[in-house]
């Protein structure tokens, strides 16, 4: 599918999975808006790489947890790049904690996890939905996690927030169809800087590799490929969550 006349907004698009999706969309000709909250340098580097692929690109700052910042972000993207046709809700927050320690997460961390992961996803969907419906075409891809199914992951709050994203995905697929498809991707362990500071990183990687059918830790590009499929070819798929974890949770 040719995306040369499409505009994509990728939250948390400067690093990791967001960056990989941004550059794959750019290779297909889409104009890309790379949202960031704090990682300006990373976002601008991704924008520069996208422009090298011959597309229009924009770095746009906004904390998606704050609804008052989301609509101005979308308005700026529309003004500079055009109506948002594709939304990737990738921005996320977590704090690595021991699940057995029920007091490990402060209330602030708990609230921040849900504010970014859940509220941010909904706020961004709500902001772009009217223009997608009006144009008669739109694709929304929400990045969840296998933690939504297993209850494991970096924290109890993180797992719960990613489960909420799946619920939001189902609800919005009903109200935004038939013009807009809304799907989610639930990745397993991805080799990004997200996990780089984990105190038991190598132990975690080795354990994951042993438990997977395909014997692989994921790369950001693995998730990006699924996102691109949901945008360009899987036109009758909506309200679904695709698990991408190399067969660990079978």
130 within domain boundaries: yes
Show the domain range for 164.
Answer: 7-244
**Residue 169 maps to which CATH number?**
3.40.50.720
C-alpha 239, offset from chain centre: 15
- In the chain, what percentage of residues exceed pLDDT 90? 85
1 within domain boundaries: no
* Residue 199, pLDDT score: 54
- Tens of pLDDT, residue by residue over 44-72, are 999 999 999 999 999 999 999 999 999 99
144 within domain boundaries: yes
* Residue 122, pLDDT score: 98
Instruction: Assign 33 to helix, strand or coil.
Output: strand
HSE-CB at 153 with a 13 A cutoff on CA atoms is 27
For all residues of the chain together, what is the average pLDDT?
94
CB neighbours of residue 116 within 10 Å? 22
23 within domain boundaries: yes
222 within domain boundaries: yes
Number of domains in the chain: 1
Here the tokens at position 106 are: 């402060």
249 within domain boundaries: no
- Tens of pLDDT, residue by residue over 188-202, are 988 876 555 555 667
Specify the pTM: 0.94
2 within domain boundaries: no
Catalytic residue (one of 36, 103, 158, 208) = 158
Q: Tell me the H-state helices in 139-246.
A: 147-150, 156-176, 201-211, 220-232
* Residue 13, pLDDT score: 97
- Tens of pLDDT, residue by residue over 204-241, are 677 777 889 998 889 999 999 999 999 999 999 999 99
Is residue 158 among the annotated active site residues? yes
* Residue 192, pLDDT score: 72
């Amino acid at each position: 599918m040719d995306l040369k006349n499409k505009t994509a907004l990728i939250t948390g698009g400067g690093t990791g999975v967001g960056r990989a999706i941004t550059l794959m969309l750019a290779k297909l000709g889409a104009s890309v808006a790379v949202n960031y909250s704090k990682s300006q340098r990373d976002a601008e580097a991704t924008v520069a790489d996208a422009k090298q692929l011959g597309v229009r690109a924009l770095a746009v700052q906004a904390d998606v947890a704050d609804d008052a910042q989301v609509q101005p972000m979308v308005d700026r993207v529309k003004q500079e790049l055009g109506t948002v046709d594709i939304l990737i809700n990738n921005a996320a927050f977590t704090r690595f904690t021991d699940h057995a320690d029920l007091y490990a997460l402060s209330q602030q961390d708990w609230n921040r996890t849900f504010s970014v992961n859940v509220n941010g996803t909904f706020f961004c969907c709500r902001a772009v939905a009217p223009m997608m419906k009006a144009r008669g075409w739109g694709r929304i891809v929400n990045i969840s996690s296998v933690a939504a199914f297993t209850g494991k992951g970096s924290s109890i709050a993180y797992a719960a927030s990613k489960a909420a994203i799946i619920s939001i995905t189902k609800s919005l697929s009903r109200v935004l169809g038939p013009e807009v498809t809304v799907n989610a991707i639930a990745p397993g362990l991805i080799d990004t800087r997200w996990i780089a500071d984990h105190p038991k990183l190598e132990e975690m990687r080795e354990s994951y590799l042993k438990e997977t059918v395909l014997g692989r830790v994921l790369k950001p590009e693995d998730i990006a490929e699924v996102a691109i499929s949901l945008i360009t070819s899987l036109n009758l798929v909506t309200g679904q969550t695709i698990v991408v974890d190399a067969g660990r949770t079978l």
